[in-house]
Structure 1
Amino acid sequence: MPEYRVIVAEFTSGDVWGELLPIDLSYSSEIKAKRSATVKIPLTGFDWSVLRPWRSLLYIQRGAQVTWGGPLVGSSLDLENETVELHCLGLWEYYRRRQITYDANFVQRDQGSIVQSLIQDFADGTGQYQWNTGPRALIFDGMATGVLRDRTYRAYERKAVGQVVEDLSGVRDGFDFRIDHWWSGNRIVNCMRLGPPSGIPTDLVLEHGVTCDIPRITVDGTNMATEAVVTGGGEAENQLTGWWYNLPAETDPSRRIPRLSAVQSRQDVILPSTLTAYAQQVIAEGSTPVVIPEVRLYPDSSPGPGDVLPGYQARVRARAGGRLVLDGDYMITGMTVRAADGGEDTTVSLVPGEVLERVGSAASP
């Protein structure tokens, strides 16, 4: 198994303070930079002056690759076994705790540029408002998406920067995003990158019995929908509403089903086009039953946790009873890793590629 290291750095300066000896660790990574980690260390290795919530950043390094990073937010002491369990969240959680405190107006700006401006101005302390302090923890790469948006955020709304970015990413033609970490000299760099909502194409193949184990495949139609209604700003008869339909799913004799409605509320949205984009996304995600394979990577083999990243596309195949039971394109939405007792266990979460495709129309009911 590759060697694991846990690096400690100061959040506000980025200075690396030292290294912890982990007894047991686990971490998870999901699309849109959602992450968490737990690290167990000996009690004798716990320095109260350094390991304080929101003061310390912990990075998990697997071999030569930094695979996880985020702030320490809590700890649990086990006096009987003389160990300490450190609880961490992904770095993005900090940006969900910062607010837009000044009016911000964007007209026909690339959505990636909007994201970068909001983070720099109101969360990271590297933008145009010098009084708005932040840890100056992020650099940005690949932020241009080619999709222009109009957006206005008012200070009195007190919206969280992270939530605004997540909302912007969730509309049709939105984006996925992640934060990567790597060594640069004696410091670790945190880099935010945007990617297409359908995932980044790769030649990765996850095949049962060859590159991974697929013990179970489930089919879930719980969230299927052929009619999406998204309500926005306003009240009663003046409330804005976006509609989207998947009429072929209701009328095609080879696959027709009765109408299934899904309703969302987006009270802060005042643009009809934005409501329609949300409704399109609901229909796309609910266009088909979701076939979900349970994937476990083989330990000490390729692909490993450093190769299978949230936001990557992969081909997934499985044979059973002498026939092919699964062969499709998927996007990796999450990964959970546990390293303990000299072993490593990695599970991968996926979503079928077809739920990310545009389907349906704005036809009237």
Structure 2
Amino acid sequence: MSAQYEVLQVESLTGYVVGSLPVTGISYSETRNAAGACTVGIPLGAADPETLVPGRSALVVTRDDEPVWGGLLWTASADLAGGTLSLNASGWHSYYAGRVLHDGYTGSKDQASLLSDWYAACNVDGGISTDTSQVRARGQVRTRSWTKYELKPVSDAISELAEDEGGFSFRYETYWVDSTHVGNRVLISDPGGNAMPYPLTHTVNCNVTQVAYDATAMATRVYAVGADNGDGSKLVGIADNATLTGVMPTKHAVQTFSDVKATQPLIDKAAAIALAGRAPIAIPTLTLYPGQYNPTAFHPGDSGPVQVDSGYVRVLDDFVITERKTDVDTNGTEATSLSLANKELFTSAD
């Protein structure tokens, strides 16, 4: 029996469920350390333009009455000839691209405490009430400092903290607060630290449709360039990939972080970039066999073994899920694809 899907129209500010939308198709995705997206088609006459308003409304997708995706409605496209309305939403994290630390911020504390501070600053000022109760201390102290004049976007602050060496994976979960309201919470985990529920093997329980190999990010030395010292010089953090010296031609990577004002965070960033540049990235894309698994059991940030033996492609390694995308047709039939990347890109060397 197919899962029963529903798309709820929600007030983004309060989480109040306005009602259910009659859909002609659903496509939703979760992306590691990013917002994810959802596109929904509805009949043109099915929505009330007074209540369904981009920027003010949110969409929540439920599967057998349980929320599996939520985010803000940012754009809508009406096809008058076809009589349809396409709704385009981005996950809850997209909201924080439009919030800045307008009072500035200075803190040196555990990563979890930094996150809690930033969400709290947004929640008390007309925010979307993101719950941080499940964000636990990680034993990773970081320092961040921005003046009020820098107007640091909160989404950038969160993403940059997550991508530091010793960083984390984050995602958002939508849940029922009560029978008429939904909420959203942020969850964090070690990069690749949560195990996928099942190992995935090509032609056994999934179909690996593509494997891409990319050496663009490989580097023998990485420079992370920070803020100007005021005399024309800039702070720089450096990290080397010693195992690549003499194996490949010298190759440098330079990234700029103009708002970083201390050397240690730049060294951390350089080390994280160097870690990702130790080897070519293998990027498999696969589809789960229909009806075999609940697709929501696979979360971005989870990791596990993937096996492929097909000509040039000989893979038996652990991969991290970077995106999960599910398409649902009018019959409720699900088609779920996973995008993955080598686990070692997300875990520090000993």
Specify the TM-score bucket, using the shorter chain as the normaliser. over 0.9
Q: Does 1:329 align with 2:318?
A: yes
Q: Does 1:142 align with 2:135?
A: yes
Q: Give how far 1:137 is off.
A: 4.3
- AA aligned to 1:229 is Y
Segments of 4+ in structure 1 off by > 3 A?
Answer: 137-140
Q: Is the 8 A contact 1:26 1:39 kept in 2?
A: yes
Alpha-carbon displacement from aligned partner over 1:209-257 (angstroms, at most 9, x marks no partner): 1111013322221221111011111267631111110112214xxxx11
Q: Give how far 1:359 is off.
A: 4.5
Q: Is the 8 A contact 2:226 2:260 kept in 1?
A: yes
- AA aligned to 2:7 is V
Q: Does 1:115 align with 2:143?
A: no
- AA aligned to 2:211 is I
Q: Is the 8 A contact 1:317 1:324 kept in 2?
A: no
**Distance (whole Å) between structure 1 residues aligned to residue 32 and residue 195 of structure 2:** 15
The aligned counterpart of 2:245 is 250
Q: Is the 8 A contact 1:41 1:85 kept in 2?
A: yes
The aligned counterpart of 1:281 is 272
Counterpart mapping for 1:297-316 below 5 A = 297-302=288-293, 304-316=294-306
Structure 1 unpaired stretches of 5+: 126-131, 361-365
Q: Give how far 1:315 is off.
A: 1.0
- AA aligned to 1:124 is N
Q: Is the 8 A contact 1:139 1:190 kept in 2?
A: no
**Distance (whole Å) between structure 2 residues aligned to residue 137 and residue 264 of structure 1:** 31
**Distance (whole Å) between structure 2 residues aligned to residue 239 and residue 281 of structure 1:** 20
Q: TM-score with structure 1 length normalisation?
A: 0.89
- AA aligned to 1:337 is T
**Distance (whole Å) between structure 2 residues aligned to residue 137 and residue 326 of structure 1:** 39
Q: Is the 8 A contact 1:14 1:137 kept in 2?
A: no
SS in 2 for 1:232: strand
Q: Give how far 1:30 is off.
A: 0.5
Q: Does 1:63 align with 2:64?
A: yes
**Distance (whole Å) between structure 1 residues aligned to residue 130 and residue 299 of structure 2:** 22
- AA aligned to 2:24 is I
Q: Is the 8 A contact 1:287 1:359 kept in 2?
A: no
Alpha-carbon displacement from aligned partner over 1:336-355 (angstroms, at most 9, x marks no partner): 22112433222111110122
Matched pairs, number: 346
Alpha-carbon displacement from aligned partner over 1:295-334 (angstroms, at most 9, x marks no partner): 11112221x321111011121012337x992110010011
Q: Is the 8 A contact 2:170 2:186 kept in 1?
A: yes
Structure 1's 156 and 324: CA in aligned 2 closer, same or farther, altered over 3 A?
closer
Q: Is the 8 A contact 1:12 1:137 kept in 2?
A: no
**Distance (whole Å) between structure 1 residues aligned to residue 184 and residue 220 of structure 2:** 41
Counterpart mapping for 1:1-365 below 5 A = 1-107=2-108, 109-121=109-121, 123-125=122-124, 132-186=125-179, 187-234=181-228, 238-251=233-246, 256-302=247-293, 304-320=294-310, 325-342=314-331, 343-359=333-349
**Distance (whole Å) between structure 2 residues aligned to residue 136 and residue 207 of structure 1:** 40
Q: Is the 8 A contact 2:208 2:287 kept in 1?
A: yes
Aligned-pair RMSD on alpha carbons? 2.0
Structure 2 unpaired stretches of 5+: none
SS in 2 for 1:306: helix
Q: Is the 8 A contact 1:33 1:179 kept in 2?
A: no
